[in-house]
Structure 1
Amino acid sequence: MQLSGLWPALLTPVTATGAVDHDNLAALTTDLISRGVDGLVPLGSTGEFTEFGPAERAAILETVVTAADGRVPVLAGVSGLSTRETCELAAQATGAGVDGVLVLPPLYWKVPEDRLAGHFRQVLAATDRPVVLYDFPALTAQPLPTSLLQRLAAEEPQVVGAKLTVRDITAITAALAATRPHRPGFAVVTGFEDLIPAAMWAGADGAISGLANLQPDLLVALVAAVRAGSPDVAALYERVMAIFDVYGLSEPAIPGLKAAAAALGRIASPRSRLDGGSGLAEAATRWAESHHGAEAVVA
């Protein structure tokens, strides 16, 4: 599995009653593949991974893997509260046929670097699939030290890359400097769309993007343009930044993202298992009316 290019962090559509809408999830998967994405990431932060139990997670992964049908790799989020839970989820994802797993540090407790290394190494033992480290310190309050990235890149070939959802571009350049001398093929991708050009110009490989659920063509084009050194980068980046305000529709951002996706016809229902607050549907409709260009998935 080569982590490179544009990988949508999949929304998890649910029905009005809150049940997973597997038909809509399969349709979204198929549509994104048709737009030229390089891979898919179900059950990440955008996929509301915290809101689904183990059986639901397994069914979600089976739906995405079946719909993808080997056309692009599937990188499954398997993070849990504890190392034990994360290992169980990694083994479950392996059984569902995913191509790799995306792993946060253990949630809730802050632990020292050696404990973090042990966490990831136990996950490695629980799956034979490539592992991508996931750094999202704004939510975990547990940054992955650059020295840890260096250690795992040098010592664990099964660790193939890192997703860095960090605001500071210097954290990305530091990760590249720490890992690439040991592993020239070690992948580093950003989780923030506004950092795509800067991160890729610094040497990163692409992005795992929540916005790609709404505007896949635009995000695919931006990543391709940066990679090619195209003069179109500035115009494409301006368009990405024009829709970046969707993340401000709600707190946390996922209910607003889902409401906007539904208003654009990208998913069937705006329902989220997270509380989006009152007036979200109306706000999302106004947002969608002012941001044209997405094509509907739902018939």
Structure 2
Amino acid sequence: MFRGIYVACITILDENGNFDLANMTVHINNLINSGVDGILFLGSTGEFYSFSVEQRKKLASFAVNSVNKRVKVLIGTGSTNINEVIEVSKFSKEIGADGITIVSPYYFGPSDSAAEQYFGKIAQAVDIPIMLYNFPARTGTELSIEVVSNLAKKYYNIVSLKDTVDSISHTRRVIQKIKSIRPDFTVLSGFDEYYILNRLSGGDGVLCGLANVEPKLFVDLHRAYENKDFVTVEKCAKKISVLMNLYECTDLFITAIKAAVKVNGLDISTYTNLPGINITDKQFNIVKKIVEEARSIV
């Protein structure tokens, strides 16, 4: 169901931390016009962890209305409180989202058995396609291959996985296991530079933050791979390899992504909710150099 290039959309804020919906509209239209297959709002890059339930509902409603069915819309509904997950998930269904993305529980990481019960309860409570979100670097525990495959077998509305693990071997094993029992189940890599390895392993694409910065680059990569144009695949991959440095040049990577969007011409604030802190002039110049270096590759 969810295949190709999906963007983990930034949430653009003003300097006071309020939603900048005007610039969000411009940004969303640019993503769609660049040819992306779908947009995730309120994921990790979208700072879901820093907003109240009511704020998340407000942004989700805006997002669905702004996209207006031009591409797929996913809403991140993860929380440490399962009742909040179910509430925001049901709301996402009501407003017309195409699916929800749920990060595995964090703080007290669950055992495999507890994770199955957690996601199973949500799957039974909501009637909307669910993408599981495995991000052990942030949650402290990994959604194991066994957990994902068991959930895929039991619940028809669990349809996809975003695997944000810095090891393509893990993603490959997930793909091979899940596809053998549910060929319709899709697996997207959360690491931007793993698109090619994901596809070679039988996966379905990426859901990533750098597509905010260069959406057409990722779309070109996807189309070139589909058309077996490996000269273009190589060029796109080299550019993405350079852009990956954006994840390491600010205190919180989200700030660097916002700065790179600003460098590319959208005059936005780079304000990021705490624990993000303001970007320095030195960091902004590093971001600018990275964007320019990637753009210079021909």
TM-score between the two structures when normalised by the length of structure 1: 0.93
How many angstroms apart in 2 are the aligned matches of 1:53 and 1:144?
26
Decide whether aligned partners of structure 1 residues 23 and 165 sit closer, same or farther in structure 2, where only a CA change above 3 A counts. same
Decide whether aligned partners of structure 1 residues 35 and 294 sit closer, same or farther in structure 2, where only a CA change above 3 A counts. farther
How many angstroms apart in 2 are the aligned matches of 1:219 and 1:192?
12
Letter in 2 for 1:84: N
Aligned to 1:130: 129
TM superposition shift of 1:278: 5.8
How many angstroms apart in 1 are the aligned matches of 2:159 and 2:279?
42
Letter in 2 for 1:268: I
**What's the % identity of the aligned pairs?**
28
Aligned to 1:260: 260
Preserved contact between residue 100 and residue 129 of structure 2 (Cα < 8 Å): yes
Preserved contact between residue 169 and residue 198 of structure 1 (Cα < 8 Å): yes
Residue range with higher mean Cα deviation, 90-99 or 11-20: 90-99
How many angstroms apart in 2 are the aligned matches of 1:196 and 1:24?
28
Please list every run of 5 or more consecutive structure 2 residues that lacks an aligned counterpart in the other structure: none
Q: 1:18-66 CA distances to partner (integer Å, 9 max, x unpaired)? A: 1011121122111111110001100000001101111111111111111
Q: 1:75-127 CA distances to partner (integer Å, 9 max, x unpaired)? A: 11000012222112212222232110001112211221121111111221332
How many angstroms apart in 1 are the aligned matches of 2:33 and 2:117?
39
Aligned to 2:235: 235
Preserved contact between residue 240 and residue 294 of structure 2 (Cα < 8 Å): no
Q: 1:194-227 CA distances to partner (integer Å, 9 max, x unpaired)? A: 1111111111100001001111111111122223
**Equivalent residue of 1:144, what SS?**
coil
Aligned to 1:85: 84
How many angstroms apart in 2 are the aligned matches of 1:267 and 1:64?
20
Aligned to 1:191: 190
Aligned to 2:33: 34
Letter in 2 for 1:255: T
Paired residue total: 294
Letter in 2 for 1:200: R
**Equivalent residue of 1:239, what SS?**
helix
Aligned to 1:110: 109
Q: Does 1:4 align with 2:7?
A: no
Preserved contact between residue 255 and residue 272 of structure 1 (Cα < 8 Å): yes
Decide whether aligned partners of structure 1 residues 276 and 112 sit closer, same or farther in structure 2, where only a CA change above 3 A counts. closer
Aligned to 2:49: 50
Letter in 1 for 2:37: D
Letter in 1 for 2:29: T
> What is the alpha-carbon root mean square deviation over aligned residues?
1.8
Decide whether aligned partners of structure 1 residues 260 and 275 sit closer, same or farther in structure 2, where only a CA change above 3 A counts. farther
How many angstroms apart in 1 are the aligned matches of 2:290 and 2:98?
38
Preserved contact between residue 256 and residue 276 of structure 1 (Cα < 8 Å): no
How many angstroms apart in 2 are the aligned matches of 1:99 and 1:238?
32
TM superposition shift of 1:143: 0.2
Aligned to 1:168: 167
How many angstroms apart in 1 are the aligned matches of 2:31 and 2:260?
17
Please list every run of 5 or more consecutive structure 1 residues that lacks an aligned counterpart in the other structure: none
How many angstroms apart in 2 are the aligned matches of 1:278 and 1:17?
12
Q: 1:158-197 CA distances to partner (integer Å, 9 max, x unpaired)? A: 1111000001111111101211111111100001111111
Residue range with higher mean Cα deviation, 123-132 or 264-273: 264-273
Decide whether aligned partners of structure 1 residues 278 and 61 sit closer, same or farther in structure 2, where only a CA change above 3 A counts. closer
Question: In the TM superposition, what are the counterparts of 1:87-102 in structure 2 within 5 Å?
Answer: 87-102=86-101
TM superposition shift of 1:275: 4.2
Letter in 1 for 2:80: L
Preserved contact between residue 79 and residue 102 of structure 1 (Cα < 8 Å): yes
Preserved contact between residue 5 and residue 224 of structure 1 (Cα < 8 Å): no
Aligned to 1:222: 221
How many angstroms apart in 1 are the aligned matches of 2:226 and 2:168?
18
Residue range with higher mean Cα deviation, 135-144 or 19-28: 19-28
Decide whether aligned partners of structure 1 residues 250 and 188 sit closer, same or farther in structure 2, where only a CA change above 3 A counts. same
TM-score between the two structures when normalised by the length of structure 2: 0.93
Q: Does 1:280 align with 2:280?
A: yes
Letter in 2 for 1:283: Q
Aligned to 1:200: 199
How many angstroms apart in 2 are the aligned matches of 1:286 and 1:191?
24
